[in-house]
Amino acid sequence: MTETTTQEAVLLTEQRGRVLVLTLNRPRAKNAISLELAQELARSFEELDARDNLSCAVIFGAGGTFCAGMDLKGFARGEIPIIPGRGFAGLVENPPRKPLIAAVEGYALGGGFEIALAADLIVAADSATFGLPEVKRGLTAAAGGLLRLHQRIPYNKAMELVLTGRMLPAAEANGYGLLADLVPAGETFDAAIRLAETIAKNAPLATAASKQVIRESNDWPLAEKFKQQHEIVQPIRTSNDAKEGAAAFTEKREPVWTNS
């Protein structure tokens, strides 16, 4: 993985143990997603899934804002931050196979909220604000907001938020069960890292397979649910990591995962 260190870089990357940290680094533009940033994100998510020494990722926004959505100045120049096969921000149509945590400070609006919804877990500051205001601009939340929000919060509340375009304070979002954790402002990044490190201690194959079943099973026919789950989890049961997990438990030591 190439370390991005300059302030001019639109995406900063850092590896902390088995956790990949992705920081949107366009603070003067409220971390709006440009085509360049979408391309960098797509490459990073592909690397996350490809590397055996990475188990999960955290996505964060520099400068006190998570993401204000699409870069409208770039859009006016004809740049559309959609990556073929992955969608807006290189993410929303094809999230990574491994767990992804969104750490939200400030605003997550429009496409920024849709990025958070594409993540598996959201950790937010108590001062954070979410929103899908597209209808106020004659648009629709077509980067996953219309498809995901009603699966994460009650249907009627999702419908109200989408049709009115109003802002959703983090405390209210937490009340609907949208958040994995609600923390004081300024503590979101550290809280997300702690959660990611807890996940990363577990067997990578098992966490990825568990995510896949939870993500996909809503669309499975009732009579096929256990059969389709079996096809995903059976290779995990017979893996070397499953044997290692049992051995480590018996020997009262930390497991050493090999992703095999």
Q: Select which of 134, 160, 172, 216 is catalytic.
A: 134
Give yes or no: 197 in active site.
no
Residue 209 — φ and ψ, nearest 5°? -70, -40
DSSP 158-180: HHHHHHH--EEEHHHHHHTT--S
Give yes or no: 8 in active site.
no
Q: Select which of 114, 187, 197, 231 is catalytic.
A: 114
- 142 vs 128: CA distance, rounded Å: 22
Q: Which residue has the tokens 């204000």?
A: 68
Residue 93 — φ and ψ, nearest 5°? -90, -15
- 100 vs 221: CA distance, rounded Å: 27
**Three-class SS state of 198:** helix
Give the tokens for residue 33. 């997603």
**Alpha helices of 19-169 — where are they, by DSSP H?**
35-50, 72-76, 111-118, 145-152, 155-164
Residue 182 — φ and ψ, nearest 5°? -120, 120
Residue pair 184/126 in contact by the 8 Å Cβ criterion = yes
> What is the Cα 176 distance to its own chain's centre?
18
Catalytic residues: 114, 134
